[in-house]
């Protein structure tokens, strides 16, 4: 099972870097140590241009942590904004995240569609993920497709994306998205962790990465 935590950091609004929740401070048990010896992320087994998922995506995060750099994530609301991220990443020769918020997902497929049950947000996020899957290989860099902050009231959106992941997994052996984020930090801690744990059990067989937010980092989130 793959999960990272977004933790509040005193005195700043920045989120903590991805962490393996099973990791310890001991260097001998550092899950990222082997990646520090790699010259390039292209040396990661299974790495390819286009959308990466599962262990390949997780190992890319561990490589970034070992090398001390962040993989930037950009919320996209149109195919043009996706293209801009891909073009910039290609010019830098570096991987990037393309992510979709609930509101941005609805915009992606058109604000004229009904969204009372988050159906437009599901459609837009999945359309965006399919678009990136089709276009990203041409840019020659690895990309992670992610869904951004999902509060408790937005769980129908999350559920719809997981259904799409499951269908994609049946056809191609990997999920549609690389990862998803649950942001239940407004809820009591035990409820937050409990709901996230239940979703992680559903996501693990699909080789999906789950980001969960613990505590309040500040700022204003979509939705």
- As annotated, the active-site residues are 148
**How far is the C-alpha of 49 from the C-alpha of 27, rounded, in Å?**
31
Helix, strand, coil percentages in the chain from 3-state DSSP, rounded to 5: 50, 15, 40
In sequence order, the 6+-apart residues with CB closer than 8 A to the CB of 41 are: 47, 60, 63, 64, 95, 142
Torsions phi, psi of 183, nearest 5? -115, 90
Strands 209-213 and 73-75: unpaired
Distance CA 6, CA 28 (A): 24
Distances (CA, A) of 140 to 49, 103, 127: 5, 29, 21
Residue among 181, 178, 206 at smallest CA distance from 61: 178
Q: Which residues pair with residue 97 across a beta bridge?
A: 73, 144
């Amino acid at each position: 099972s793959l999960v990272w935590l977004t933790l509040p950091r005193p005195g700043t609004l920045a989120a903590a870097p991805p962490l393996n929740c099973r990791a310890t401070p001991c260097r001998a048990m550092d899950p990222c140590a082997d990646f520090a010896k790699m010259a390039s992320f292209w040396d990661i087994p299974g790495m390819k241009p286009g959308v990466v998922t599962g262990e390949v995506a997780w190992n890319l995060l561990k490589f970034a942590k070992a090398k001390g750099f962040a993989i930037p994530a950009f919320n996209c609301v149109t195919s043009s904004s996706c293209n801009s991220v891909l073009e910039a990443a290609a010019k830098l020769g570096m991987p990037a995240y393309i992510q979709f918020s609930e509101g941005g997902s609805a915009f992606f497929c058109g604000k004229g569609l009904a969204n009372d049950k988050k159906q437009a947000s599901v459609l837009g996020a999945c359309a965006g993920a399919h678009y990136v899957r089709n276009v990203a290989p041409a840019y020659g860099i690895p990309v992670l497709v992610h869904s951004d902050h999902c509060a408790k009231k937005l769980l129908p959106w999350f559920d719809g994306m997981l259904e799409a992941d499951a269908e994609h997994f049946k056809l191609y052996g990997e999920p549609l998205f690389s990862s998803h984020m649950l942001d239940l930090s407004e809820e009591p801690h035990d409820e937050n962790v409990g709901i996230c744990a239940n979703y992680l059990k559903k996501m693990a067989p699909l080789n999906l990465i789950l980001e969960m937010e613990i505590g309040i980092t500040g700022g204003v989130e979509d939705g």
